[in-house]
A and B are shown apart, each in its own frame.
Chain A
Amino acid sequence: MLKLSKYVLYDIVRSKIILAYTLFLFLVSFSLFNMEENSSKAIMSLLTIILIVVPMISMIFTTIHYYNSYEFIELMLSQPMSRRKILLSEYAGVSVSLLSSFLIGVGIPILVYSPDAIGFSFLFTGGALTLVFTSLAFLTSVIARDKARGIGFALLLWFYFALIYDGLILLILFTFSDYPLEKLTLVLTALNPIDLGRISIMLKMDVSALMGYTGALYKDFFGSGSGILFTVGIMFLWIILPLWGALRIFKKKDL
């Protein structure tokens, strides 16, 4: 399995797309920190990159990679190897390459310019989102048979998590504004990995705003030790569950 992952990794690195992605992240985050005189503004622009660009690239890259290495997968299946191992080593190869390019591209500028609690919550969120959206992409590409549909499906899912979901939350908040919604919003945010990551960063950034009003509740919950455990646990579930679903489908799939 390790050997197979190594081949996948080698294949990915050779295609150079991942190198371009690393370079892009590195240049953008480096120039953001250099351009803005106060680093909090740079951090804000970086937040957009991490919450929007990183999930999108992870998803599209994974989907395209999956369909491109379809023949390779078929070849491997003719060998005495379990389907589970093949898919897992594909996942390992893709996620390791994406994660390391994120950690190099964003991690180094953060370590240089802002090595504090905010910086580390950025690295945690970005890393977790990379893994989550890689495994979501595996799920969608295992389900859809042809490439166009797979990419479309992946993009739709990304669009849903990045944008539509927050709109729905806002809709719910206004429709049921007469009811106590604090607990419900807590649950709702857990159902979207991007929101969860955003809140864990926000708690470090906008402390003063959050301390007032209902923000205090979120602060109490997400800021506490059990809240951090909750965030990490939910993120972990978001990585495991789609991958598990993909494995189940892949095992029974007629290729």
Chain B
Amino acid sequence: MLRLILILPTIIYCIPTFAKTIVVGKNQSITTIRKAVEIAKNKDSILVLPGIYKEGNIVINKSLTLAGQNFPILDGENKYEIFTVSGSDITIKGFQFQNSGSSAMNDYASVKVIDAKNIFVENNKVINAYFGIHFSNSSYVTIRNNTITGSPAMEQTTGNGIHLWKCNHALIENNRISGHRDGIYFEFVTESMIRNNYSTKNIRYGIHFMFSHYNSYFDNTFNDNGAGVAVMYSHNVTMERNTFEQNWGASSYGILLKDISDSRIQHNSFLKNSVGIHMEGSSRIEISQNIFKENGWAIKVQASCDDNNFYQNNFYGNSFEISTNGTMMLNKFYNNYWDKYEGYDRNKDGIGDVPYHPVSMYSMIVEENPNALILLRSFMVSLLDKAEKAIPSLTPENLIDDKPMLKPNKL
């Protein structure tokens, strides 16, 4: 009778889920994760106790929940890919992955997911990996609260922090990525969201988008990356409330837009970048309510861009505000605040009566002859700019803000 009382709750507990928890640890009956995965059935959980596990490559192809207690260390000994995952409904959380192998032939990763669905990778630490977390051909995946720290070598010998290829419906949030080639890399990824991530000191880009449509990224911070953030060959991308700061260097940008269309860039802050936004071949982009502060160039719009709207942005203390490489201008600028505006407002509606020319003569000169940067802030240059403002001849005459604001826009 007593025995029945003891067993009954266990039976009741087990019946509805048919799942059990397998504990892995040095002093347990099962000492390796590999063995645990082998004997586990679908929907089982594996709890890994603290310790160092050097088990080479572990393949997970059942619907399991793998959880680490106090970050057990999974060491790839610089040779192996640690987890190779495929299937559906798999959760991996609470591990510390370190020293996964690197290879010029294979994209080794700490966690590699192939052909999968409903995957959660949460609360992990990835240290010194080639690729951190690598997904391909997967859908409905969540990558959350991970810290991925690489040891930056050269661009060719370092992989990406979070790499997604041909995925959809991914959610990437609250991750912290540093020291990789690209912080987050998207290729052929659709309908996904990246939010609240912090991407810093990566060798190339903070985020790199290629051929990825209908994605959005919110509230991320990109700081001190090799070349900022690159968004290429995509459409319907939403970028809001991100902070781009201190992306310094030759060919370094806050955002690099190449062949982007039908997208929105709103409520972002661009601080102290060499170039805030660099646009090439982009069309139908709404760029509004952003702050551009103390950048070298706030926005570089190549003449290949059309139908973009720039409005209600605030520009403060940028060395150059807008620069372009041609006299054609098919974009609209209105209601921006330019701290260099010198016009007046007679009817007191807060909008300046004189249009503002954000492209200075000197920025055209520098565009054509970069050596002329040595004359920045020269008296002669300001004289040239004044003359050009009075009688525009070289700067694109239709690149004007018709309704410049006298006071900064409230954002």
A169 lies within 8 A of chain B by Cβ: yes
A243 lies within 8 A of chain B by Cβ: no
Q: B274 touches which one: A167, A205, A208 (CB < 8 A)?
A: A208
Note all chain A residues with C-beta closer than 8 A to B250: 211-213, 216
Note all chain A residues with C-beta closer than 8 A to B296: 206, 208-212
A209 to B371, Cβ gap below 8 A?
no
A52 and B379 alpha carbons, distance in the complex (Å):
8
B376 to A167, Cβ gap below 8 A?
no
CB distance from A155 to the nearest CB of B (A): 15
Note all chain B residues with C-beta closer than 8 A to A145: none
CB distance from A37 to the nearest CB of B (A): 10
A69 lies within 8 A of chain B by Cβ: no
Q: Contacting chain A: which of B69-77, B137-145, B315-323?
A: B315-323
A212 to B371, Cβ gap below 8 A?
no
Main secondary structure of the interface of A (DSSP, over half): helix
B364-402 near A? 1/0 per residue, CB < 8 Å: 010001111111111111110000000000000000000
A68 lies within 8 A of chain B by Cβ: no
B286 lies within 8 A of chain A by Cβ: no
**Given A169-B375, A173-B371, 13 additional A-B pairs, CB 8 A:** A38-B316, A40-B317, A170-B365, A170-B375, A185-B371, A205-B377, A208-B272, A208-B296, A209-B373, A210-B296, A210-B373, A214-B373, A215-B373
A47 and B373 alpha carbons, distance in the complex (Å):
17
Task: Supply 25 A–B pairs (Cβ within 8 Å), ascending by A.
Answer: A38-B316, A40-B294, A40-B317, A41-B317, A41-B339, A44-B377, A48-B379, A166-B375, A170-B365, A173-B371, A177-B369, A185-B371, A195-B374, A198-B377, A202-B377, A205-B377, A207-B248, A208-B296, A209-B296, A210-B296, A211-B296, A212-B275, A216-B249, A218-B373, A218-B374
B200 lies within 8 A of chain A by Cβ: no
Note all chain A residues with C-beta closer than 8 A to B252: 211-212
* B residues in contact (CB < 8 Å) with A: 248-252, 272-275, 294-297, 316-317, 319-320, 339, 365, 369-383
B377 to A206, Cβ gap below 8 A?
yes
A44 and B377 alpha carbons, distance in the complex (Å):
8
Name the CB-closest residue of B to A199.
B374
A184 and B20 alpha carbons, distance in the complex (Å):
76
Note all chain A residues with C-beta closer than 8 A to B317: 38, 40-41
A101-112 near B? 1/0 per residue, CB < 8 Å: 000000000000
B274 to A162, Cβ gap below 8 A?
no
A195 to B376, Cβ gap below 8 A?
no
Note all chain A residues with C-beta closer than 8 A to B251: 212
A94-122 near B? 1/0 per residue, CB < 8 Å: 00000000000000000000000000000
A62 and B365 alpha carbons, distance in the complex (Å):
37
A226 and B295 alpha carbons, distance in the complex (Å):
27
B373 to A208, Cβ gap below 8 A?
no
B379 to A170, Cβ gap below 8 A?
no
Name the CB-closest residue of B to A52.
B379
A218 and B250 alpha carbons, distance in the complex (Å):
13
* Residues in A179-224 with C-beta less than 8 Å from chain B: 181-182, 185, 189, 195, 198-199, 201-202, 205-216, 218
Note all chain A residues with C-beta closer than 8 A to B373: 209-210, 213-215, 218
B374 to A51, Cβ gap below 8 A?
no
